[in-house]
Amino acid sequence: MNLVYIAGKYRGKTINEIHDNIEAARKVAVKWWSYGFAVICPHLNSAMMDGAADDQIFLDGGIEILSRCDIIVMMKGWEESLGACDELKLAHELGKQVIYE
């Protein structure tokens, strides 16, 4: 079974924007689970944990998780996320399959 990593914008200007970004990622994750893939969705893994650790810890953790995945799915609007841009760069470097939503 291939392991899919969902990449997209997490942060927002307000708590409501963050919530909306998490919910959008959840919907993408549900879709890929329904396709028969195992899915890692960092948005859900660290939802509302802002301040629990330095932001860089979360970003570095995402990179580590991505390195173990087979496929990265880039959500709509990924270009607005520095983290997702870094994840895409790594995916290319590691030869991961990249899918754009």
pLDDT digits (tens, 9 = 90+) for 37-70: 999 999 998 877 777 888 888 888 989 999 999 9
Rounded Cα distance between 2 and 36, Å, is 9
Number of domains in the chain: 1
Q: 29 falls in which pLDDT band (50, 70, 90)?
A: very high
Q: 49 or 92: which carries more pLDDT confidence?
A: 92
Nearest of 76, 49, 31, 98 to residue 87 by alpha carbon: 98
Q: What does pLDDT average to over the chain?
A: 94
| Domain span including residue 43 | 3-100
